Homo-oligomer: A and B are copies of this chain.
């Protein structure tokens, strides 16, 4: 970016003996410029290797054409699906993306938010960290009127639109499915119950139990982070329960996969002894054995919807102000790991 003088609209203008205003207009395809001059301008721009200086343009226009994407973790299948969706829509609409990840850490999230604010993103798409306590760090955005869309892990009761799935329903469905399969004692392996996604799934689990006259038992709820270690520990915790549960609803496919592996090592038959339902529909789900029953959580669609809504708002096509939440479809995918009644494939 340093070598060789950059061509500017001044260069094009003087080359063609016209004014910079005309060049500027032509370059943005303003219909007010005649076809002929436009053509000349485009040609010489091309010839002279002109490239727009977005810094000058943004400075002048007072907008950044940039969307911030701040998430708790980048190395996650789900988040990456979302990112792919966001990237697709944002690029299509001519927006850049600045990404920041908080490594599940509140302090870092605050720092990232500050940074994105200073970078003057036009809008923000974000999912909260594990231990995010409050939303104060988003206040500057609100004050400047920078729209924020939360997805997946969201905080209830704020003014920002939210893109989510119906976690309650999914939790209910998953548990209900296990009950339908004849499970009487269903463990629930999950994560930080302060986060909406997990509370809602938990409520679904509880209500499904209640509606089918199964007792809720606190000791069946196993909480951990989403690590492999936590998965193995959860499996051991399940093994320590007597009598042993005959079903488990695990709110993360990776953890479910680790659990299944560990349980099998202890000669527990899946689904025979314990039927298992995961969550997310990661690729691992149908590669492990038995194939994992799970909830399909369509990240890419979620990203597309979030980005599209944000972009439309920014462009003045429709507003986010009227929107409280957008709920994306998510469904149960039944595979072998939960099928007690019918024989699974193979």
Binding site for B on A (CB under 8 A): 1-4, 49, 51-56, 58-59, 62-64, 74-75, 77, 80-81, 83-84, 87, 91, 96-101, 115, 117-120, 122, 140, 143-146, 254, 257-258, 261, 264-265, 283-284, 286-289, 300, 346
Contact A4 B143 (CB under 8 A): yes
Q: Pick the contact of A87 from B74, B96, B118, B258 — CB < 8 Å?
A: B74
Contact B283 A63 (CB under 8 A): no
Which residue of A4, A287, A300 has the most chain B CB atoms within 10 A of its CB atom? Answer: A287
- Distance between Cα atoms of A314 and B124 in the complex (Å): 28
- Distance between Cα atoms of A96 and B66 in the complex (Å): 11
Contact A51 B87 (CB under 8 A): no
Contact B265 A346 (CB under 8 A): yes
Q: List 16 A-B contacts (CB under 8 A).
A: A1-B63, A1-B64, A1-B145, A3-B145, A4-B145, A52-B118, A53-B59, A55-B64, A75-B81, A91-B115, A96-B98, A99-B99, A254-B287, A261-B286, A261-B287, A289-B289
- Distance between Cα atoms of A64 and B58 in the complex (Å): 12
Contact B1 A120 (CB under 8 A): yes
Residues of B within 8 A of A257 (CB): 287
Contact A287 B258 (CB under 8 A): yes
Contact A54 B284 (CB under 8 A): no
Residues of B within 8 A of A4 (CB): 143-145
Q: Which 3 A-B pairs have the closest CB atoms?
A: A3-B145, A55-B59, A55-B58
Contact A54 B120 (CB under 8 A): yes
Contact B100 A91 (CB under 8 A): yes
Q: Name the residue of chain B whose CB is nearest to the CB of A52.
A: B118
Contact A99 B97 (CB under 8 A): yes
> In the complex, given contacts A1-B64, A74-B83, A75-B300, what are 18 additional A-B residue pairs having Cβ atoms less than 8 angstroms apart?
A1-B144, A1-B145, A2-B63, A2-B145, A4-B144, A51-B118, A52-B118, A54-B119, A74-B84, A75-B80, A75-B84, A77-B77, A91-B100, A91-B115, A97-B99, A99-B99, A254-B287, A264-B289
